Amino acid sequence: MFKFLGTPPPLPRWAEVLLLPLINLFVAFLACALVIAAIGEKPVEVLWTLFQGPFLFPGNMGYTLYYTTNFIFTGLAVAVAFHAKMFNIGGEGQATLGGLGVGLLVMALGGSLPMILMVPLIVLSSAAFGAAWALVPGYLQAYRGSHIVITTIMFNFIAAAIMVSLLSGPMMQPGQMSPQTAPFPGNAILYKTHDVLHWLGIGKVAESPMNLSFFIAILALIGVWLLIWRTRLGYQIRAVGHNPEAAHYAGINVPRVVMLTMAISGALAGMMALNEVAGAQQRVILNFSGNYGFVGIAVALIGRNHPIGIFLASLLFGALYQGGTEIDFNYQSITREMVVLIQGLIILFSGALYYMFNPWLARLLYLVLPRKSSPEGAVS
């Protein structure tokens, strides 16, 4: 009984996996509601619009899944690195480089190859460029001792600079003044889902930028699950994450695992370009990475680095993004950047303040839940 005052009792697993994240999410939205109230709107009404936005109109679901695709890729990228206790905040730059890879490949090959060859090449190119951009910070962390967080932040800015100078120079569409490439030829794109469904004869679906990369994202989810929990490398990644010294002692080549992890993480972030560049825009435009790389951190935090969690968190964020445009539409005084505020609050409460409610929740559950009487009597 006196456990209540001292060290809190351990939290049941279901509460830690399910209840605590939900409480943290709830508090984040509560804080957002306060901001909305301070602005002078009705919080419940605005948040309701935000949540029903994705489902209200035909086509909105497609938009939601389109945003979801980005979050799956960047969330997975952060999660894979997290498993090795590394913090890849370079998703932004890796996605940018992935887009560059797609753009360069399409500009080099043009319409010369059939689609059946071109699409796999595009996928490979985005992953390879993203992986390469993450491999350098990985190498510097593994062999030169520079910290991955700082290096990846700096690499984001360097990637952005490279992209601007290429898009306003050699890669710019001839005769145009805006920093973007020429539209991709028809064999070098990922088809929009509504087109595919139409051809398959499944009836007319409302138009949206959702495209086939959504299904690549689903494959990536499964792939990451297999990688982390069903392969030797995944075991090594988790071992390095738990204790690098012990992993080294067990014969794991830690620097090699660090570099491989970063490469996989970067490849996933780079593949975000499939959705934006090859699927939605069908050309390389400036800033297509649109902070999805950063939000991937929130996705991984809420999804607790597990593919199922990441899928659900991506859906949540995809819905929020789509809801943000509805808010733009319906309210004079609130802009869609409300969503950025919510993301910040979610990262704060689900990430940095993750354990704030842990002891209190544990104490509460300890008092409320029926306890199995231990054979030796009271152990408390």
Partner 1 sequence: MNDLAFQLLLALDASIRLAAPLMLCAMAGIFSERSGIVDISLEGKLLASAFVAAAVTAATGSVWVGLGAAMLSSMMLSVVHGFATITHRGDQVVSGLAINMLATGFTIVVGHAVFARGGQTPALTDNQRFGPITLPFADQLNAVPVLGPIYKELLSGHSLLVYMALIAVPMTAFVLYRSRFGLRLRAVGEVPEAVDTAGISVFWLRYRALMFGGLLCGIAGAYLSTASGAGFVREMSAGKGYIALAAVIFGNWQPFRALGACFMFGFLEAMTARLEGVDFPVVGVLPTQLMQALPYLLTVLLLAGFIGRPTPPAAIGQPYVK
Q: Please give the residues from 315 up to 354 whose contact with partner 1 meets the rule CB under 8 A.
A: 332-335, 337-345, 347-348, 351-354
H or E segment and range at residue 330: helix 307-330
The single residue among 292, 294, 311, 317 that binds partner 1, judged by CB under 8 A, is 294
* Cβ nearer to partner 1, comparing 187 with 291: 291
CA 236 to chain centre: 23
Minimum gap (Å) between residue 330 Cβ and partner 1: 14
From CA 286, how far away is CA 181, in angstroms rounded?
A: 9
Q: Is 230 in the site for partner 1 (CB under 8 A)?
A: no
Torsion angles phi and psi, residue 175, rounded to 5: 80, 0
Q: Is 132 in the site for partner 1 (CB under 8 A)?
A: no
Q: Is 78 in the site for partner 1 (CB under 8 A)?
A: no
């979050």: which residue's tokens? 71
Minimum gap (Å) between residue 292 Cβ and partner 1: 13
* Cβ nearer to partner 1, comparing 196 with 356: 356
Q: Is 355 in the site for partner 1 (CB under 8 A)?
A: yes
The single residue among 95, 128, 259, 301 that binds partner 1, judged by CB under 8 A, is 301
* Cβ nearer to partner 1, comparing 225 with 357: 357
The single residue among 40, 201, 203, 377 that binds partner 1, judged by CB under 8 A, is 40
Q: Is 147 in the site for partner 1 (CB under 8 A)?
A: yes
Which range touches partner 1 (CB under 8 A), out of 44-52, 157-165, 214-222, 369-377? Answer: 157-165
Minimum gap (Å) between residue 80 Cβ and partner 1: 17
Task: Outline where the chain has alpha helix (H).
Answer: 13-14, 20-39, 43-56, 60-83, 91-109, 115-143, 148-167, 193-199, 213-230, 232-242, 244-249, 254-270, 272-273, 292-302, 307-330, 338-347, 358-368
- Site size with partner 1, rule: CB under 8 A: 49
Minimum gap (Å) between residue 273 Cβ and partner 1: 20
From CA 270, how far away is CA 220, in angstroms rounded?
A: 12
* Cβ nearer to partner 1, comparing 162 with 365: 162
From CA 66, how far away is CA 69, in angstroms rounded?
A: 5
Minimum gap (Å) between residue 352 Cβ and partner 1: 4
319 and 53 Cβ atoms separated by less than 8 Å: yes
From CA 80, how far away is CA 94, in angstroms rounded?
A: 14
Task: Outline where 144-253 has alpha helix (H).
Answer: 148-167, 193-199, 213-230, 232-242, 244-249
> What 8-state DSSP symbol labels residue 146?
-
Both tokens of residue 155?
Answer: 């690499």
CA 96 to chain centre: 14
Minimum gap (Å) between residue 156 Cβ and partner 1: 8
Both tokens of residue 95?
Answer: 């996605």
The single residue among 155, 214, 288, 311 that binds partner 1, judged by CB under 8 A, is 155
| 9: nearest Cα among 306, 304, 305, 374 | 374
Torsion angles phi and psi, residue 285, rounded to 5: -115, 165
Site of interaction with partner 1 (CB under 8 A): 35, 39-40, 87, 89, 140, 144-147, 149-151, 153-155, 157-158, 160-162, 164-165, 168-169, 294, 297, 301, 332-335, 337-345, 347-348, 351-356
